[in-house]
Amino acid sequence: MLARRRCHPEGLRCAGQDQSTDDVPHPVPIATVSRVPMAGMPRVEFTLHNSLTAWQFGPFQLLVLAALLAAAVWYLRADWKLAQHGRAWPGLRTLAFVAGLVCVDLALQSPVATYTSTYFQAHVIQHLLLMVAGPPLLALGAPSTLLLQTSSRKTKSRWLGFLHSRPFAVVSHPVTTWGLYYGAMYLFFLTPVIGYSMEHMPLMDVINVGFFAGST
């Protein structure tokens, strides 16, 4: 018959139990780790007020916003120009392109970007917007096709020359795009780059642009 083990009233240890297990560190809950502030960045609490108002308006964010607005204005004007010539441009393409621009802005300027200083989940959402949501939506908008249908003959010739150039063929090759997409994530998350970039935000801004460019 197995002998009963006598346990202390606190229930912390039973007689005969291997006390070496007390030295085994207990796992830290993921929720606790994900709320640790990033080095060199202020902590921002997750509140309804911050989720609505904690937008960023630094030089980099304003530059991104200006570029996105310029792209939106060009696209809508080209759409209108095509309609003036009696040729309808699919509305779903316009919607997809604008949605892609919104995804990029949300990733780099909205409270999602602000929360990256405190929550790792915000980093994941930011990269999903930059690499998974934004680029496909922009591609569905077919801006290259719209450019070819609304630009001058000279612009068409230059753009087609660029699309058929060897550098573009190398950059757009599946092996190159695969390397840029997964290589960027590997270098960022599995090397000291993430810690260094969190302490130098201009570098983080460049890396985010690289994530977007590598996915586009």
Per-residue pLDDT band for 154 (boundaries 50, 70, 90) equals very high
44-48, 107-111, 129-133, 156-160: range with lowest mean pLDDT:
44-48
Amino acid at 56: Q
Contact (Cβ atoms closer than 8 angstroms) between residue 15 and residue 6? yes
108-to-53, 62, 90, 171, 214 alpha-carbon distances in Å: 14, 10, 28, 25, 16
Contact (Cβ atoms closer than 8 angstroms) between residue 214 and residue 181? yes
* Residue 145: other Cβ atoms inside 10 A: 11
Note the pLDDT of residue 22. 47
d(CA 176, CA 165): 15
Measured in residues, the chain has a length of 216
Note the pLDDT of residue 158. 93
> What are the beta bridge partners of residue 7?
14
Average pLDDT over residues 63-77: 96
More confident residue, 74 or 124: 74
Note the pLDDT of residue 33. 38
Closest residue by Cα to residue 144 from 207, 45, 85, 71: 71
Q: What is the mean pLDDT of the chain?
A: 81
* Residue 89: other Cβ atoms inside 10 A: 20
Report whether pLDDT(140) > 90: yes
Amino acid at 75: Y
Report whether pLDDT(19) > 70: no
More confident residue, 97 or 179: 97
d(CA 11, CA 63): 60
Per-residue pLDDT band for 189 (boundaries 50, 70, 90) equals confident
Average pLDDT over residues 106-117: 91
Average pLDDT over residues 126-140: 93
* Residue 205: other Cβ atoms inside 10 A: 19
Average pLDDT over residues 183-207: 81
Per-residue pLDDT band for 187 (boundaries 50, 70, 90) equals confident
> Chain-centre distance of CA 202, in angstroms?
16
More confident residue, 15 or 33: 15
What the block records as the tokens of 99 is 């949605």
Note the pLDDT of residue 31. 41
d(CA 22, CA 24): 5
Query: What is the number of H-type helices and E-type strands within the chain?
Result: 13, 0
SS3 (DSSP) at 18: coil
Residue-wise pLDDT for 74-96, tens only, equals 999 999 999 888 888 999 999 99
Amino acid at 103: C
> What are the beta bridge partners of residue 14?
7
Note the pLDDT of residue 41. 58
Per-residue pLDDT band for 42 (boundaries 50, 70, 90) equals low
d(CA 137, CA 131): 11
pTM given for the model:
0.75
